[in-house]
Structure 1
Amino acid sequence: MYDLLGSRGTIDMGIRREATVEEVLLSHRRRKRHRRTILNDIEKELDVLRDKQNAAGRDLDLWRGPAGYKAKFSNRNTWLMTREIGVTCTWGTSVWFPQATPKFAFMVWLATRNRLATMDRVASWSPGIDTTCCLCKNALETRNHLFFECSVSAHIWKQLTQGILQSSFASNWDAISSLITCASMGKQKRFCLRYVFQTTIYSLWRERNRRRHGEAPAPKEVLLKQIDKAVRNKLSLMQSKRVKGLEGVLQYWFGTRL
């Protein structure tokens, strides 16, 4: 530039004679407007070089994903990378399903996770207490015994579900859990089985607590009628609302009664 413009040119541009192009680009000198066209052309060329340099060294916002860093943000990938992936719950839909009664579903959720205060669990933090099942008076009270290995609860369960399950009837907790999660079962049959399962567990646990607190025990036939009535009331309400796919569910329930 000195050879082209002489000493006056460097003064007009505000650039040292010994300065390199890099120093000029990195400096914070203010762009000037000159009377001489060649000086304005040099200013324009410096602006172009400065823009190219900034573009090459500019910081970019990149988002980390499973396949590396990308310029586009993904809600799904961010969620998957920040959450802790657990084991898939296979029984969730059999507990929390449409038209379920919340307090019944909550009780079944506790029972499924084995968090009910059955006497075998109570004995672990309070030794020396009576752990006998208060329904049948014959065995240690555990979740599996109470639902439905106990002679009282087994009788009620059989009367309620034998007509629904037919040859696949079971009174073992694990077998029942497998049945209510079966996706190939008809919609009416599946709903009735799940709902009577939840209603029975809630009613038996309530009766168990009443007896534990010294109240008079209700005969098993009375419990059976109460559960059956609760199920019929629910199905009648659903039929009046014309729930899709369950229009004839009340008639189906009556058809399964022994």
Structure 2
Amino acid sequence: MVICEVGNGSTARFWHDNWTSLGPLIDITGPRGPGVTGLHVDAVVAEALRDGDWWVRRSRSRNRLITMLRECLPEAAPILNSEAEDIYLWKPGNRVASCTFSTADTWEALHPQGETVFWHRQVWFQGRIPKHAFITWVIARNRLGTRDRMRSWGVQGPATCILCNAADETRQHLFFDCPYRTEVWTFFCSRLNLHPPALFEDGLRWLRNPSPDEFVKLIAKLVFQAALYSIWKERNVRIHNQAFRPAQAVILEMKQTIQARLDPLSRASNSRRTDTTLLGTWFNFF
């Protein structure tokens, strides 16, 4: 990210500095460049100028490295006629080179933003339960190791959903169509008087604004993520520990987890509403 704006070439290193916009020339020619061309490895740009031009352009050699180097070099006249000093600048990514270092610009260059997704705020909302949000993120990207995906990788094993034994285990079935999951999800939706769609990605879109009430909206997001996490946890416990719980046990565990999360959120809330609190809204429904 350090570039050199060449003035008279007295300090810019010919081989190692990024002064031609193509990166360090040693990266183009390789370590054999200095030996083949005859210009020592620590030479500055000014030393590569002889008799009004680049020394390498006077060579009659047909060596591939010398030919390539000729094509990389800029015009020599501006450097020969310059009286300015060489300047080193900071250029993160595609931003304009500057003599000022910016931590923010450098971070963005090193960690470019990924693909924009419509469900970002439905997963990483303020007040989320971190482990629930993480599982939701993995599911939203369809990277969870469900049985249909594992079989597509060549892993031999049963394809049937272990929660209902009625259909193949896919993302859509496990988290939306499975009767076990439906029992859990319906309990909360009926209490909150919500009517989510039947497809997974439609459900994520619906979660943007599931209710006009801000408190109910937050509770719905917490319930949605808790349901995904709890169903996946129950599925894994059944497979690995052969322990089976009824849906009512999962519902009870979810209620306790969400209530525990809402307590500090309710205490920290600076809402101007005077009719009820976040935790009070929860108790109105549950």
- Indicate the TM-score class for this superposition, using the shorter chain for normalisation: 0.5 to 0.7
Q: Which has the larger radius of gyration?
A: 1
Matches within 5 A, 1:176-255: 176-182=203-209, 186-213=213-240, 215-239=242-266, 241-245=267-271, 248-255=277-284
TM-score normalized with structure 1 length = 0.65
Q: How much has 1:203 moved relative to structure 2?
A: 1.4
Hey, what does 1:86 align to over in structure 2? 114
Contact in 2 for aligned 1:64/1:70 (Cα 8 Å): yes
Q: How much has 1:87 moved relative to structure 2?
A: 1.6
Amino acid across the alignment from 1:249: L
Distance in 2 (CA, whole Å) between partners of 1:57 and 1:251 is 71
Q: How much has 1:73 moved relative to structure 2?
A: 4.4
When residues 80 and 231 of structure 1 are mapped into structure 2, their CA distance, relative to the original with a 3 A threshold, is: closer
When residues 83 and 236 of structure 1 are mapped into structure 2, their CA distance, relative to the original with a 3 A threshold, is: closer
Amino acid across the alignment from 2:207: I
- Which of 199, 209, 213 is matched with 1:172 structurally? 199
Structure 1 residue ranges without an equivalent (≥5): 1-54
118-127 vs 80-89, which moves further? 80-89
Q: How much has 1:70 moved relative to structure 2?
A: 4.4
Contact in 2 for aligned 1:157/1:171 (Cα 8 Å): no
SS in 1 for 2:162: coil
SS in 2 for 1:57: coil
Distance in 2 (CA, whole Å) between partners of 1:232 and 1:79 is 38
Contact in 1 for aligned 2:196/2:206 (Cα 8 Å): no
88-97 vs 188-197, which moves further? 88-97
Amino acid across the alignment from 2:249: V
- Which of 154, 162, 167 is matched with 2:190 structurally? 162
Amino acid across the alignment from 2:282: W
Distance in 2 (CA, whole Å) between partners of 1:235 and 1:82 is 37
* C-alpha distance after superposition, 1:59-108 (max 9, x if no partner): 23344475754444444444555554432244333323333222222222
Contact in 1 for aligned 2:230/2:254 (Cα 8 Å): yes
Distance in 2 (CA, whole Å) between partners of 1:227 and 1:211 is 18
When residues 123 and 161 of structure 1 are mapped into structure 2, their CA distance, relative to the original with a 3 A threshold, is: same
Q: How much has 1:160 moved relative to structure 2?
A: 0.7
TM-score normalized with structure 2 length = 0.59
Q: How much has 1:178 moved relative to structure 2?
A: 1.0
- Which of 113, 134, 145 is matched with 1:117 structurally? 145
Amino acid across the alignment from 1:209: N
Q: Which has the higher helix share?
A: 1
SS in 1 for 2:231: helix
Distance in 2 (CA, whole Å) between partners of 1:106 and 1:78 is 27
Distance in 2 (CA, whole Å) between partners of 1:184 and 1:76 is 37
Please, what is the CA RMSD of the aligned residues?
Answer: 3.2
SS in 1 for 2:181: helix
Amino acid across the alignment from 2:121: T
Q: How much has 1:196 moved relative to structure 2?
A: 1.0
117-126 vs 65-74, which moves further? 65-74
Contact in 2 for aligned 1:160/1:228 (Cα 8 Å): no
Contact in 1 for aligned 2:210/2:220 (Cα 8 Å): no
SS in 2 for 1:121: helix
- Which of 123, 131, 139 is matched with 1:103 structurally? 131
